[in-house]
Amino acid sequence: MPFHTETLFRDDAYLSETEAKVVGVNDRGGVILDRTIFYATSGGQPGDTGHIVRADGTRLAVAATVAGETKDEIIHVPDAGQSLPAVGESVKLAIDWPRRLLLMRMHTACHLLSVVCPFPITGAAVSEDDSRVDFDIPDPSYTKELVTARLLELVNANHPIFIRWITDEDLAANPTLVKSKNVRPPSGTGRIRLVCIGDNAVIDSQPCGGTHVAATGEVGEIHIGKIEKKGRENRRFRIRFGPMPAQ
The mean of the pLDDT values for the chain is 91
Q: Is the pLDDT of residue 11 over 60?
A: yes
Reported as a pLDDT band with limits 50, 70 and 90, residue 184 is low
Burial (CB < 10 A; 0-12, 13-18, 19+), residue 233, is: middle
| The pLDDT of residue 153 | 98
- Which segment of 1-10, 179-188, 199-208 scores lowest on mean pLDDT? 179-188
Of residues 74 and 71, the one with the higher pLDDT is: 74
- Which segment of 76-90, 102-116, 163-177 scores lowest on mean pLDDT? 163-177
| The pLDDT of residue 187 | 56
Over residues 123-129, mean pLDDT: 93
Measured CA distances, 135 to 15, 86, 93, 118, 184 (Å): 33, 46, 37, 9, 16
Q: Is the pLDDT of residue 188 over 60?
A: no
Query: Which of 106, 99, 42 has its CA nearest to residue 73?
Result: 42
Query: Which of 16, 32, 36 has its CA nearest to residue 24?
Result: 32
Amino acid at 64: A
Q: Is the pLDDT of residue 99 over 90?
A: yes
Three-class DSSP category at 229: strand
Q: Is the pLDDT of residue 227 over 70?
A: yes
Q: How far is CA 23 from the centre of its chain?
A: 25
| The pLDDT of residue 167 | 85
DSSP-assigned letters across all residues of 81-113: TPPPPPTT-EEEEEE-HHHHHHHHHHHHHHHHH
Residues shown for the chain: 247
Of residues 3 and 104, the one with the higher pLDDT is: 104
Residue 116: its H or E element: helix 97-116
Reported as a pLDDT band with limits 50, 70 and 90, residue 126 is very high
